[in-house]
Amino acid sequence: MVKVVKFGGSSLANAEQFAKVGEIIRADKSRKYVVPSAPGKRHSKDAKVTDMLYACYALADEGKDFRVQLMKIKDRYDSIINGLQLNLSLEEEFKVIAANFKEKAGVDYAASRGEYLNGIIMSKYLGYEFVDAAEVIFFDEQGVFDAEKTHKVLSKRLEELETAVIPGFYGAKPDGTICTFSRGGSDITGSIVAKACKASIYENWTDVSGCLVADPRIIENPKPIKVITYRELRELSYMGASVLHEDAVFPVRKAGIPINIRNTNDPEAEGTMIVGSTCQKADYTITGIAGKKGFVAVSIDKDMMNSEVGFCRKALQAFEENGISIEHMPSGIDTMTVFVHQAEFEGKEQQVMSSLRRLANPDFTELEADLALIAVVGRGMKSQRGTAGRIFSALAHANINVRMIDQGSSELNIIIGVSNDDFEKAIKAIYDIFVVTRL
């Protein structure tokens, strides 16, 4: 068995956290390839090293003295090195970084140094080979990730190494210029490494014990999800659940490699397994609840709409012409409702309505703002009768008016529309009936 393990910034914020990570890796010999993030916050008022690097480079870019800020970053790394009692100096590395900052090597270069330096410390601490991500992760001239070249080069490199540390977040363009993924990019690197070495499992270690049934900011101590499918995760992520960067899922999903979300501070917890498919029954009828506020519902009525060829296309063209993306679109025989982001729609409201009248000629239109959408997701819903009825019952009992309910053809999710003011109350009511009381 081969495992790729990625550790987030909070897991590597200081020497104490590094030591926990070292214990985790050494406890399982199959954890052969390690992908570290840059050091995160040590406490709530602290700064992430990546943010410190951005700020430091901004000074360099403006031609200002950045040495004091760069030394503060060096102090962060030195405190980790000294805390681990490593025989290691980053003096030369920081001289190179200072020179490149003066030469204005670019903001991507600056941001990537957090992972790069942490990778050097991690490889020294573990006794693993250090592989600079710039040598094995590739982007094209436009900064688009080159998956084919990366897989070919990285696979060959890892075949030659029994163990290795590959920093997350960055790679290089054909001319050697450093290029980064978006924030959360270390998750993507971990996934790419897992695919390249044909890993059995991709372990993603963070500061939470896996995915949760609901947002802990709304539900106090929500239950963890033991097993979730990629399709369920996609539905929950789309509706606002923050689990993994979407691009981090694709390489391992395509390769059939499961992801295990684990907690560095509670390594005995099993965490959440993210899998392609499973015969394991979920603990509850639903797998998770997620949602977003701030939508407008554009209701369009027209008699005999269903017999007018191309009506939906004409109606949706009104939104496309004005650069408005559509979030959801339930419909009836003579009605359709288009949900759009309120912040995006408000500035173009009258242009859209004018286009709608010109293109589709509806009998009646109506706008309703300040709405929220909630997704109730679960592979177990299709085998349980009355799921929608239980949702209605829970919301009615909580005195919540349901503005819209729509079930996808896969029976994997049910989307509910409520007012923004009822959003938190609705999630609590749904969580209560399916998880707390389990009626």
Reported as a single tens digit per residue, the pLDDT across 271-307 is 999 998 888 877 888 999 999 999 999 999 999 888 8
Do domains 3-207 and 288-436 share one topology? The answer is no
First to last CA, the chain: 42
User: Residue 328: what are its φ and ψ, rounded to 5°?
Assistant: -155, 150
C-beta neighbour count of 352 within 10 angstroms:
23
Q: Count Cβ atoms within 10 A of the Cβ of residue 348 and give its class: 0-12 exposed, 13-18 middle, 19 or more buried.
A: middle
Q: Is the pLDDT of residue 239 over 80?
A: no
Distance CA 250, CA 286 (A): 24
Measured CA to CA, the distance from residue 345 to residue 298 in angstroms comes to 10
Q: Hey, what long-range contacts does 73-76 have (CB within 8 A, 24 or more apart)?
A: 73/49, 76/39, 76/49, 76/52
**Crossing angle for the helix pair 311-321 and 349-360, nearest 10 degrees?**
150
Q: How far apart are CA 19 and CA 12, in angstroms?
A: 9
Cα 161 to Cα 129: distance, rounded to the nearest angstrom: 7
Listed range (170-174, 351-355, 389-393) with the worst mean pLDDT: 389-393
Specify the amino acid at residue 407: Q
Q: How confident is the model at residue 218 (pLDDT cuts 50, 70, 90)?
A: very high
User: Mean of the pLDDT values across residues 326-349?
Assistant: 92
pLDDT-wise least confident of 106-115, 309-318, 382-391 = 382-391
Give whichever of 87-101, 182-196, 226-240 has the largest mean pLDDT.
87-101
All structural domains of the chain with their residue ranges: 3-207, 288-436
Strands 326-328 and 364-377, sheet pairing:
unpaired
What's residue 250's pLDDT? Answer: 84
Report whether 169 contacts 116 (CB < 8 A): no
Whether the CB-CB separation of 115 and 169 falls below 8 Å is answered with yes
* DSSP alpha helix (H) spans, 144-271: 147-159, 185-196, 230-238, 246-255
- Residue 228 in contact with residue 237, Cβ under 8 Å? no
**Mean pLDDT confidence for 300-316:** 91
Q: Answer yes or no: is pLDDT of 246 > 80.
A: no
Flag whether pLDDT at 439 surpasses 60: no
Q: What is the reported pTM?
A: 0.86
Per-residue model confidence (pLDDT) at position 189:
95
Q: Which residue, 4, 37, 5, is CA-closest to 185?
A: 37
| % of residues, the chain, pLDDT over 70 | 97
DSSP state string for 116-140: HHHHHHHHHHHTPEE--GGGT-BB-
Q: How many residues does the chain have?
A: 439
- What is each CA distance from 393 to 78, 346, 377, 388, 401, in whole angstroms? 58, 33, 17, 9, 11
pLDDT value of position 388: 85
- Enter the CATH code of domain 3-207: 3.40.1160.10
Closest CA to 169 of 6, 11, 2, 5: 6
Gap between the Cα atoms of 387 and 381, Å rounded = 7
Q: How far is CA 269 from CA 18, 205, 223, 288, 388, in A?
A: 19, 11, 13, 19, 33
Give the integer Cα–Cα distance in Å for 25 and 163. Answer: 11
What is the rounded average pLDDT for all residues in the chain?
93
Residue 253 has φ and ψ, to the nearest 5°, of -65, -45
pLDDT tens sequence across 355-402? 999 999 999 999 999 999 999 999 878 777 788 889 989 999 999 999
User: Residues 100-129: what's their mean pLDDT?
Assistant: 97
Residues 10-27 have a mean pLDDT of 96
Q: What is the pLDDT of residue 413?
A: 87
Q: What DSSP assignment string belongs to 245-300?
A: -HHHHHHHHHHT--EEEEETT-TTS--EEEES---PPPSSS-SEEEEEEEEEEEEE
- Bridge-based pairing of strands 326-328 and 164-165 is unpaired
Residues sharing a CB contact under 8 Å with residue 407, sequence separation 6 or more, in sequence order = 388, 413, 414, 415
Residue 241: its pLDDT value, please? 67
Residue in 262, 270, 218, 204 with CA at minimum distance from that of residue 33: 204
Give the model's pLDDT for residue 322: 94
Quickly name the fold that domain 288-436 has: VC0802-like (3.30.2130)
Asked if pLDDT for residue 245 goes beyond 80, the answer is: no
87: Cβ–Cβ under 8 A, 6 or more apart, which residues?
none
